[in-house]
Every structure is written in structure tokens, then in C-alpha cells.
Chain A
């Protein structure tokens, strides 16, 4: 059972991705890709188990774990009461002894009641105990807004977690990355928060069937090449960025989209290479920009690309309000393609609106 650390986790990150052009792929939704990753890892490693609210009998609140209870039984697919602090902490404990728990949190909003276990416990294990124990834990949870779920259910705290040394934070934007990043996270020897997105679950794409398809942590992807402006984003914001790039192309603007995939570790190199090429940067996130992911990115970019910037860096995120319910207010507050387009044009015009 306890087979020691997995080989992949100790390997240095590959600098090149597995080439999907030569790999055999299948068309899956984002949620199916996550399920494929879990099914493969549950089958591969006895130490892996899934727990969370409604993951078993109900087949997952968002059906990510559909069918897994039937296949792996209630010991490996464990339904929990509504006790986030308790079962996230229990996963930390199980990980200390070498188990590889995957915890599903219904949405990122509910991770707040377990914040203490994540930030004060999971993230501290490695350093505080002098590297004598490890905490190979995965927490999977969707963020996001856009379905009128209102203030308490529409949040993206990605930056809070990514700002915590000791944690790793990844956020796949495509089905292939959902599979590859989740598998890499499960095999990783540290606590990893994998941020999914409610609107992304139904997005479809080609996913490698290879059970060894891993996307290394800490590696961004250039999701679309371009020369005039860099749109830099992660998670569902990358889906919006790609759509924006398509719209910009129609206006004769060549936009490059850098999908971060991983927030901590952050691939500053890929970001810098893009900005040095395009000389314009627009940063996009689902959450509130102030003190957020885009704030961090802007600081890094000005530091490493100071001489390359032709215009001030701009950012788009959720309007800085607790998200209101009414559809018109919600639409106005979301970082939608129209707002991103407007910001891109203003960066290209070289001056702040």
C-alpha cells in the first residue's frame, strides 16, 4: 500500500509539454476530464481517496465524481457531513501519514470555514517541522460567478491562497489541463489547491487518454500566439481571454494569450517572454483585482519588463463589490469579454481611459 513517494513528484518539471498532436485524445468536458484523472489515480495508487460533501451517493454536486462510488466503494469515495473544517483537517492528518487524500469542497466559498486548516496547518507542515513530514494533499473546488448566486456564493479567492507560502495553487482552463494538472497535483508531495470553475465544467476539448499524461506544476501555456498585446490570465478568465483575442483579431489586433495554469509556483519566465514580445500587458482574473492575482502579476511584470512596456499595465476582474443578485447588476460586475475588449483597446491606445 504505502509505496513511498511517487517518482514523478521528485522529477524536475519538464519544460516541454507532452505533445497532444502525437498523443491519442478523446473529446471530453472539463468535468469528465477531472473524473478521468481521479479514476486513473484511484486505480493506480491505493493511498488515493476522495472525500467531500455529496461526492458519493449523490455522485457529486456538480457530477465530477459521477460513478466513482460504484467503482471504488465507500472507503475510497467517502461522503462527509457538512463539516469543512473537520474533514479538510482530517485530510491534512491523513496526508501526514502518507495517504493521498483528494478533498472536494462544493465551492471555494465554503473553503473559508476551513481556512485555518489550509493556511495555518496544511501550508505550515513542511517548513515549520523542518521538512521532517510532508502533506501530500489535494483540495479541489470551483470558484466563479455568473449564475446569479449572489454575494456569498460567487467569489474567487485565488490570490489569497496563492499568496500563502507552503501551498501550491493551480487553476486549469481546459479539459486537457484539468486532467494533467489534477494528476500532477495528486502525485505531488505538497498540499495543492486545484481551483476549478463552475462555468468551465461543461466546456469541451481534446484530452489525452495516456494515463501518464501530467501537466507539470509551475508551467504556463501560451494558449494563443500573438504579437501586439499579451492577455494574461488563469482558470476561466483564460477562456474569456481567448474569446477576446478572437474578437481583437477581427479588429486586426494580434493578441497573445498566456494561460498561467499555475499561480504558485508562478511561471514568470513565460509571462516575461510574452510581454517583451508584445510590449503591452492586460491582466484578467475572475476575482477582485485589488490585492489579487493581477496585482501580483503587475508587480512582477514591471520589475522584469520595465524597459519593454509601451503602455501602463491594465487589469480586469470582478467589480469590487459583493456580487449582487439582479441579472443586470451581475452582468455589469463580471469581467466579461466586452469589458476585457475595452481594456485591451485602452492599453493599445497607450493611455489609461
Chain B
């Protein structure tokens, strides 16, 4: 493992502040109707996001659920491309076709942004299988929420990963709630990490708001996955400040006091204090904060100026580029409009 600077670094601080600023801006733009659909924010979860991403190598792979803005940014997706995706513009990381829930960047090993709870788990497990078949010494980090552990796909994936000794770490982001349902109301075993024991899989729980603890645990578990093909579950205890999505006020199922109490021990404030304690100058910290604001402002400007996807590209990417000929004979008698809407500019990339 390459030597790394001691966590937290100033760069990690900047990444956390950038994510917070990005989410705050996304909510604002949503309310200004620049962003539509579902928009799930991760404000409050930055230490988990940045801490885990800091432990990944460039050739490791990442898979997440729909609460993916922070992971995308921390993995290196430019804020402009992420914001353009939220705006539904053509330079978005998914060409404006995926939106908030479906960010991705295969070149950075980020295989999506998936919207069906736990649906990404078997997929991530398969990526890990492919890594072993290719003889690669990399690992997969698969993010999921506390609500996803009650799906069958979780159990099936864990069993497969343990049975086949796959290099994968399942990161359970326990932010206390799955929509309006708390973990204690949803899980017969509320210590979620313990469920891995059923598959004799290593597992542990960390304070997800402590970036050092998150980094250390992820680093260790990813290391074991890469080098010894030992899969693991890591449960990071954190909290989402905002509602489930921008449409949810987030106050019907929890108290204002609870939210205020969690905000009172904010992970970003904690990192700032640690850095200051270790000798960071105030000017350095403020510089990072200013850069974060600038990055997000530039991202909005970029997204706003970017064009919508071309209308005749409605079906672009649906099939491999070689498929147009196969479908040519399906056009006659297609339902009204299909010829213009779907077949016009081709089905391929």
C-alpha cells in the first residue's frame, strides 16, 4: 500500500466542504426548477463519503445507490459534470440521461448510481467476480443504505461473496433512517454489521462522522479484500441532515432536537478543528472553503450554459452500436412516432 498523508488532510477537508456546498446548491437549484426528479442529498455524511473514497486506489471499483453525489465528487467526477447531469444537460456524466440518482464515471471505476434499493449489490458482487477472473488485485466498494439490508439481494450477495471469496467491501451507510423508517423499526438485528456473521464474513462498525476511523477501517478491509480476497461489511454510523429527498421535509418521523443535536457534532466542523489543532493556518482552511464555493459556483454556471441533449438522440446508447441493422426490420408497423423518436438517430452509442 502506498504511503498516504495522515487523515484528515487539507484536500479531504476541501472535498467535504465541496460536497456540502454542492448539496446545498443542488437543493436551491431544485427549488428553482433547474433540477427535477428525485434528488437525494448526503449533507451530514461527508466523513463517511470522503473517508472511504480516500482509502480506494485509482483502479478499485465503486458502486453506489441513488444517494451518490458525494461519492461521485469524492471519486473525482468533476463538479461541473455532476451538476450538468442534475440539470439534464448533454455534458453531464451520463449525458443528461440519468440525473441525480444515476451518476457514474467508468473511467474512474465508478459503475453507478442505481435506484432500486439493494439492486446494486449483486451487480457489485459481479464486478468483484470479474476482478478475480482477470487476475486483478483490486477491490470493489459497494455503498448501500441501512434500509437495503432487509432485501433478499443483500443476503444472496453476501453469501456469494463469502462463498467465492470475492474482493468486495459492502459499505452500509447507516444514517438512522430508510425514508421515514428508523433502523430500530425495520431491522430485527439493528446491529447491522453483525449480520455478516451468518456468512462467516468479517464485519465492523465505525463512527461514520470520524473521518480517521472511517479511513482506517476502509483501508484495512479493502486491503484484506485485495490481498487475501476477504470480503467484508463495514457499517458507518452517520446521519442525514436533510429529508430523504428534496421533496421530504424530513421532520415527520424525527424531532427537531434530534437533528439539532446531530448538527451540533458536525463531521466537517470536527475535521476543521482537528486540522487547526495539528497546525493548519486559518488562511489555509479558509482558502479550502473558498475553493469549494468557487468550484460549485463554476459548476452551476457550466451546467446552466450547457445544451440539452439532442432530441433525435432519444434512444442513444440503448443497444450496442452494432445493433441498428438488427432492428431495421422492426420499424414497419411500429407504434406511432417510433420511427422518428426511437430509430431516427440510431440505437447505438
Question: B336 to A59, Cβ gap below 8 A?
Answer: no
B338 is an interface residue with CB less than 8 A from chain A:
yes
**In the bound complex, how far is the Cα of B344 from the Cα of A333, in angstroms?**
13
B186 is an interface residue with CB less than 8 A from chain A:
yes
Q: How many residues of A contact B (CB 8 A)?
A: 48
Chain B residue with the shortest CB-CB distance to A61: B179
Question: A83 to B151, Cβ gap below 8 A?
Answer: yes
Give every chain A residue within 8 A of B126 (Cβ-Cβ).
none
**In the bound complex, how far is the Cα of B36 from the Cα of A110, in angstroms?**
21
Closest-CB distance, B92 to chain A (whole angstroms): 8
Give every chain B residue within 8 A of A346 (Cβ-Cβ).
336
Within 8 A of A (CB), among B105-141: 114-119
A-B contact pairs, 19 of them (CB 8 A): A54-B180, A61-B179, A79-B185, A82-B117, A113-B116, A147-B36, A151-B97, A152-B116, A153-B37, A319-B341, A320-B338, A324-B96, A326-B99, A326-B308, A326-B309, A328-B309, A329-B88, A329-B311, A332-B341
Chain B residue with the shortest CB-CB distance to A109: B116
Closest-CB distance, B101 to chain A (whole angstroms): 6
B202 is an interface residue with CB less than 8 A from chain A:
no
Partner of A294, one of B102, B252, B335: B335
Partner of A57, one of B85, B115, B151, B253: B253
Q: How large is the interface on B (under 10, 10 to 19, 20 to 34, 35 or more residues)?
A: 35 or more
Contact of A339 with B336 at beta-carbon distance under 8 Å, contacts A57-B253, A58-B180 already known: yes
B78 is an interface residue with CB less than 8 A from chain A:
no
How would you classify the secondary structure of chain B's contact residues: helix, strand, loop or mixed? loop
A289 is an interface residue with CB less than 8 A from chain B:
yes
A104 is an interface residue with CB less than 8 A from chain B:
no
Interface string of A29-60 (1 = CB under 8 A from B): 00000000000000000000000011001110
Binds B, one of A15-23, A92-100, A309-317: A309-317
Partner of A329, one of B151, B153, B314: B314
Interface string of B81-105 (1 = CB under 8 A from A): 0000100110000101111011000
**In the bound complex, how far is the Cα of B152 from the Cα of A84, in angstroms?**
9
Question: B99 to A86, Cβ gap below 8 A?
Answer: no
Question: A81 to B311, Cβ gap below 8 A?
Answer: no
**In the bound complex, how far is the Cα of B153 from the Cα of A112, in angstroms?**
13
